[in-house]
Amino acid sequence: MFLPRCGVPDINFDYNLSDTNTISWPKGNKWFPKGKKNLTYGFDPEDETPPEVIDVFRNAFMRWSTTTKVLNFTAVTSYDDADIKIGLYVSNNEELADVVVLGGTIISMQLNSSVKSGEILFDASKYWVLPTDDNDTLSWQDGIFDLESVAMHQIGHLLGLDHSFDNDSIMYPTILPSHQRKVQITDSDNQSIHDLYTTAIKTDVNYGYVGSSSGLITSLFLGFAFLAMLN
């Protein structure tokens, strides 16, 4: 069985999810309009998101904004108009039962429009714990996952960060038994975000990936598994 992992693969490419919609992953690039510093986020109204969960995301967005001093985030009630859309997905694909993909981040664009939106999606079948719960005993081996940690990771992707090879980083792609709750932005995370926003970075399909061919294949498999779960 795979370690629980983010659904964002370690290379980037465009994928036609339907005849009218194309998606990509926010790797190493700023998908929102140049110069825009204030982004809005909203929750899918069909999910009836509890206030406690909304608070988790508000705190996560605030932590990124305060620490990096790069962007500001504001909650809006209009989900369709939000720059960042947050929602749940449910997979009934039994063939992917052993693939523990907690969620992912995608950039969505309608083919008849140049407007892009960021989407954060979480697996509704998982048991998510809140910061007020007893997180000292949580364990993904028992099917329990820390919502705030995963939210921090996915927001990092929307800011343009790749996966990190630093075990302590919020952007590490898998949940390790010894690192099941990570919500504090490390110095390396902060440096990466400032490098991204102060340095002109060339983005191509292989940006940010350093590793073995088997690791790349695994990453791609999990990325497509995440897409399959959305269908």
Residue 178 has pLDDT above 80, yes or no: no
| Residue 192: pLDDT band with limits 50, 70, 90 | confident
**Residue 101 neighbours by CB distance under 10 Å:** 23
Q: How many helices (H) and strands (E) in the chain? A: 4, 10
- Helical (H) or strand (E) element with 58: helix 51-68
pLDDT of residue 136: 57
Q: Note the pLDDT of residue 158.
A: 86
pLDDT at residue 27 in the model: 58
Q: How confident is the model at residue 40 (pLDDT cuts 50, 70, 90)?
A: very high
pTM: 0.74
Binding annotation for Zn(2+): 6, 153, 157, 163, 171
Indicate the annotated binding residues for Ca(2+): 47, 83, 123
The whole-number pLDDT of residue 109 equals 61
> Residue 45 above 60 pLDDT?
yes
Strands 84-89 and 116-123: parallel
Instruction: Give the residue, 39 or 102, on which the prediction is more confident.
Output: 39
Torsion of CA 220, 223, 224, 225, to 10 degrees: 120
What's phi and psi for 26, nearest 5 deg? Answer: -80, 65
Task: Specify binding-site residues.
Answer: 6, 47, 83, 123, 153, 157, 163, 171
CATH among 3.30.420.40, 3.40.390.10, 3.30.700.30, 3.30.930.10 for 5-230: 3.40.390.10
- Segment of 17-31, 112-126, 150-164, 199-213 carrying the highest mean pLDDT: 150-164
Domain spans, the chain: 5-230
Q: In this predicted structure, what is the pLDDT of residue 174?
A: 78
Is the pLDDT at 215 greater than 60, yes or no? no
Distance CA 191, CA 170 (A): 13
